[in-house]
Amino acid sequence: MDLPLSARPVKSRRGQTTNNSAPSYGEPHNGAEEPHVHPTAPRNLSPMAEPVVRIPDAKVALSTASVYPESTATAFEIAARLGYDGVEVMVWTDPVSQDIEALRRLSDYHRIPILAVHAPCLLITQRVWSTDPWVKLQRAQAAAEKLGASTVVVHPPFRWQRQYARDFVSGIWRMADETDVRFAVENMYPWRYRDREMLAYAPDWDVTKEDYRHFTIDLSHTATARSDAMQMIDRMGDRLGHVHLADGNGSGKDEHLVPGRGSQPCAELLERLALGGFDGHVVIEVNTRRAMSGAEREADLAEALAFTRLHLASAAPTAQARRP
């Protein structure tokens, strides 16, 4: 797949010609021959035009979960080779993902920063780092601080974690007050089986119903929840600090498709972020388990990166559009 992966959109320079002929500076006056003017001579120029595109400060990162069943180390290698701006480390059963020094060495070797740490909140990571969920968050915060990551992604508690769920909102605020690291709480979804629905998260899978300082929106989760992603980011407002970009078709499964392959408004959301000057991180978190080869996996991750950068380079509003 030949894609300009590492290149961001480039603004054109006005007045540049595409052939070898000299530029025309106007018609001769009163039939007189126009004097020769060197192309580099100073001229009266009109005010600089406003930019055609607006590219936000948001960085595009690769979640290490996106290469599963490959390793955390493989994710760093792929992210660097494809031109991602950084990685988000999913802390899970891979021992390297739990080892701060090993992660630092990978970051230094591949010259790619760790932008976020995903705390071990999954069912399969209930014993990673600790069985105490608050200890998990403390260790995620410490890892982020030592690795230079700006964000810790955290899920709301499972409903059966009663005490943790009861204190979760106030506890997240308390931890956020003690550090510059953002605790960005991620939207989840109800669990479904056939025609039955189970509310597995507390206080709620819809995190906008609670007062958190920062949010993560995951578009695969909005698909699974069958909720409106654009309305959700409206409710999040300026507290939206982190994005997990993936797609989905609204099935009962958390699909994490490559952006553009499902029904979610991935392009529209990215363009909204660009116009709003979003300065958080956009993290590609997709499922490549069905890839038949490493090359196919990389092609999917390259496509996801190209899609994201294309739609983050949104059209800037015109002066006429900004007039009241």
The Cα 112–Cα 115 span in angstroms is 9
**Cα angle for residues 302, 229, 290 (degrees, 5° grid):** 35
Q: Which residues pair with 86 in a beta bridge?
A: 61
215's CB contacts (< 8 A; 6+ apart) are 184, 185, 186, 187, 207, 208, 236, 239, 240, 241, 242
The Cα 126–Cα 129 span in angstroms is 9
For 168-208, write each residue's pLDDT tens digit. Answer: 999 999 999 999 999 999 999 999 877 777 889 999 999 99
What does the pLDDT read at residue 1? 45
Q: Which residues pair with 53 in a beta bridge?
A: 315
Q: Is the pLDDT of residue 300 over 50?
A: yes
Q: Is the pLDDT of residue 46 over 80?
A: no
Whether omega before 203 lies within 30 degrees of 0, making that bond cis, reads yes
Mean pLDDT of the chain: 85
Lowest-confidence segment of 43-47, 115-119, 261-265 by average pLDDT: 43-47
What does the pLDDT read at residue 196? 79
Q: Is this structure's pTM higher than 0.95?
A: no
Query: Which phi and psi angles does 217 have, rounded to 5°?
Result: -105, 135
Higher pLDDT: 30 or 81? It is 81
Tell me what percent of the residues of the chain surpass a pLDDT of 90. 71
For 221-270, write each residue's pLDDT tens digit. Answer: 999 999 999 999 999 999 999 999 999 998 888 999 999 999 999 999 99
Residue with tokens 């740490």: 117
Amino acid, res. 244: H
What does the pLDDT read at residue 250? 86
The Cα 112–Cα 242 span in angstroms is 19
Higher pLDDT: 178 or 41? It is 178
Q: Is the pLDDT of residue 17 over 50?
A: no
All domains of the chain, ordered by start, with CATH? 59-315 (3.20.20.150)
Contact 133, 165 (CB under 8 A): no
Residue with tokens 């002066």: 319
pLDDT band at 19 (very low <50, low <70, confident <90, very high): very low
Q: What does DSSP assign to residue 272? A: H
Length of the chain: 324
What does the pLDDT read at residue 50? 55
